[in-house]
Amino acid sequence: MTTAAAPAIRVAGVEKSYGEVRVLRGVDLEVAPGSIVALLGSNGAGKTTLVRILATLIGADAGTASVTGYDVATRSGRVREAISLTGQFAAVDEILTGRENLVLVARLRHEADPASVAEALLTRFGLTEAGDRRASTYSGGMRRRLDIAMSLIGDPPVIFLDEPTTGLDPEARNEVWAAVKELAGKGTTVLLTTQYLEEAEQLADRIAILHRGRIIVDGTLAELAKLLPPAEVQYVEKQPSLEEIFFAVVGDTGTDQAEEA
């Protein structure tokens, strides 16, 4: 008899307030190893706050959270060794070339052969020809791919992608989607926060909707689709889009007053 693998990420009853503003009001979430989970929510829903707690950047007011079995509050050093965080804006040094950015991070991660690590990642993310150009000459999609490549150095088992395609055009967004799919294909666990419903449809194994500080729905796209009435069949079957599901579950189209922290 086999037992299910322990969650790569586990969140239980997490709360966080900024002054009088309650951003997280008791969040519960589990992410299976090697899966992509999309955390959906409007601006101010608390997505970035939750990611910052999981990345040990801020502390929770209540509740517990763990990454790869390590408590984020009491074993923060071990959590940091196991994760990588890619924020809303690509954290690349534009003065350096793509290759130099990768070599620099590889040295900081104490890799034995930084040059080989950089070369392998340039190849993996389709940046070999641009490897010796300054990052300032890269397109938005190329910078984001370089940013994700940098985050993979050291083979972290868990990656947080916080709004990874913000500000990118559709072509660049597709490039990033391809990179994220490859991550999961290699066994990396990905927690993705996004406002783009199509992005969640394209990438996620499971989708969690964070609304007014709580996870109100968590499931596969097929499971979420069942929350709506059956499709009305006339000449063709019209399946509900994730956008329709999102607003049906949330109950309104407005944004929360609390700003994303």
Percent of the chain at pLDDT > 90 equals 52
Which tens digits make up the pLDDT trace of 209-240?
999 899 999 999 888 888 877 766 566 667 78
Q: Is the pLDDT of residue 87 over 70?
A: yes
Higher pLDDT, 257 or 218: 218
pTM above 0.85, yes or no: no
234 CB-near residues (< 8 Å, 6+ apart)? none
Q: How is domain 9-80+188-250 classified at the CATH fold level?
A: Rossmann fold (3.40.50)
- Please report, for the chain, the start and end positions of each structural domain, with discontinuous segments joined by +: 9-80+188-250
Which tens digits make up the pLDDT trace of 20-64?
999 999 999 999 999 999 999 888 889 999 999 999 999 999 999
Q: Is the pLDDT of residue 95 over 90?
A: yes
**Which residue carries 């419903």 as its tokens?**
197
- Burial bucket for residue 225 (CB in 10 Å: 0-12, 13-18, 19+): middle
Q: Is the pLDDT of residue 257 over 50?
A: no
